[in-house]
Structure 1
């Protein structure tokens, strides 16, 4: 249990740091397109184009963040096989706290008191969960269930990509939520994957769960990148937390036999619900006043180039959801 917890914490640190670095890279790319008055950065509906997302992905900050994501994935996969999913996924989702704290330095964000309280709630809930968690269940599931996991992953990631292109900047929280569901499906897939212990390559390659992991992982990373481009980094990450925590936690209990310590079921349920509520609160309080993430981050059309050039290189960009009135939080989407 202790090794599993430490592994999950390390995965959380990698994911949290990676998210902020990816956000920095995304905003740097958006500023460059704004300064160049590019017209290829957005779709007809205001969302980021594939070329815009690709340009963000080749900044050095984004690439380092991506490497950290892969390291976090490996550590998270280990944690998912050593801990109940309702614990491993929730501890990993605590990267929200790391994301918020690092955002203060790297993105110029000032967290308001309600956000700090919400973060404290999430941390307290993790303590409850760690105290109440029992042994993880088995990873046995029928081949049909593995196929359903693959179908669900394709549907979620394909539907999310289509929604982003149709809804544009209005899809920020949805993209974060669907990316979380993708990472949640990835966690379930890792848990049920055949051919791992003992290792058997033909069995591994024949398992639909392997391809569900690939689809959910790649699709989840793409949708999270888009969410960081067009929405508040804390809001997008909090929505991701809900998606990657709730469904896997429930499936782990109902499907895989995860359980709490005898007599601690109430604490496990309370901790789980409080953790989700805290993440939702961070998303709610972290959104900018006046209607959510701005469309400017998706491309240069929303803000004149001089406005973009007037910003400091590492401060809020032309596409930020900055609130510059006295005493307010300043943040980049």
Structure 2
């Protein structure tokens, strides 16, 4: 479990720092620069490298921790983003922002203390196919919703759910440990990882293009945390410490609420 917790924390730090670096690079490039020009800035490239580190650490955490623990920790990258934004981008945190950060941190500590081992229940091949087919259907619906006039919230919610499905797919995909290429390539969950990850990123970008940054970040935080947490507990056998189930549930909800509050902060809006 220690390896998984460290991986989740590193993922949160990597994602949160990458967001600030990329925003800083875009600001340095200037308003007249093309997106490609901003992406070629060394600081932006460094942020992309951190995103890659974050993805690898997310995979490690998802396969070694209960998903109701790993996902709230990873979603706390919003806390990292908000705090770093006050230093790099000179954005002031409000009292509400500080309260959200405090609630999230306390909830994460409680989750760490009350969670048990990750589950090893076999959900059957049906779940592997359901992730791929469900992800494709959600992506199709999200793409249609993104074309509507008020597309930000539906696109962001769909993006968050897709990220959540991607996390579940990472958890159950076959052929990873030990590595077996043939088994990996024959598993529908492997393709669900790619489809849901790429689709979620595209829809989140579409939501941001409307300017509804805070709402989009909050919606994604909910989707990518709730879906894996529930699936892990119900289908994969993720456990809490005996007698601490209620505390874990309350802490899980509090961690999500704290992340949403921070997602709505000016610090996060200034970065995305």
- What's the TM-score, normalizing by structure 1? 0.73
Which residue does 1:164 correspond to in 2?
A: 146
Contact 1:232 1:331 in 2 (8 A): no
Query: What secondary structure does 2:242 align onto?
Result: coil
Question: How far, CA to CA, are the matches of 1:228 and 1:27 in structure 2?
Answer: 16
Whole-angstrom CA distance in 2 between matches of 1:176 and 1:287: 19
Partners of 2:127 and 2:270 lie apart in 1 by: 42
Matched, 1:136 2:118: yes
Q: What does 1:4-83 correspond to in 2, within 5 Å?
A: 4-24=4-24, 31-32=31-32, 57-58=39-40, 60-83=42-65
Q: Is the 8 A contact 2:146 2:207 kept in 1?
A: no
Q: After superposing the two structures, state which structure 1 stretch, 89-98 or 103-112, moved more.
A: 103-112
Kept after mapping to 1: 8 A contact 2:92/2:267: no
Displacement of 1:105: 3.1
User: What's the counterpart of residue 170 of structure 2?
Assistant: 190
Between the aligned partners of 2:170 and 2:20, the Cα distance in structure 1 is: 25
Q: What is the rounded CA distance, in whole Å, between the counterparts of 2:71 and 2:128 in structure 1?
A: 20
* Residues 82, 262 of structure 1: alpha-carbon distance in 2 compared, 3 angstrom cutoff: same
Q: What is the Cα deviation at residue 197 of structure 1?
A: 2.3
Count of aligned pairs between the two proteins: 272
> Any unmatched runs of 5+ in structure 2?
none
Whole-angstrom CA distance in 2 between matches of 1:23 and 1:163: 27
Residues 1:114 and 2:96 are matched in the alignment: yes
> 5+ unaligned residues in a row in structure 1: which ranges?
34-51, 289-329
Note the C-alpha offset of 1:70: 1.6
How far is 1:286 from its partner?
4.7
Match of 1:154 among 131, 136, 139: 136
SS in 2 for 1:198: coil
Q: Distance in 2 between matches of 1:187 and 1:235?
A: 22
2:216 and 2:240 mapped to 1: Cα distance?
30
**Which residue does the alignment assign to 1:220?**
200
| Counterpart Cα distance in 1 of 2:28 and 2:234 | 44
Is this contact kept in 2: 1:96–1:238, CA < 8 A?
no
Q: 1:89, 1:249 within 8 Å by CA — same for their partners in 2?
A: yes
Instruction: Report the CA distance between 1:202 and its aligned residue.
Output: 0.8
Partner of 1:271: 251
1:28 CA drift (Å): 6.5
CA displacement at 1:182 relative to structure 2 = 2.1
Task: Give the TM-score, by structure 2 length.
Answer: 0.88
2:191 pairs with 211, 222, 232, which one?
211
Q: Deviations over 1:176-208 (max 9, x none)?
A: 433322221111011110112222111110101
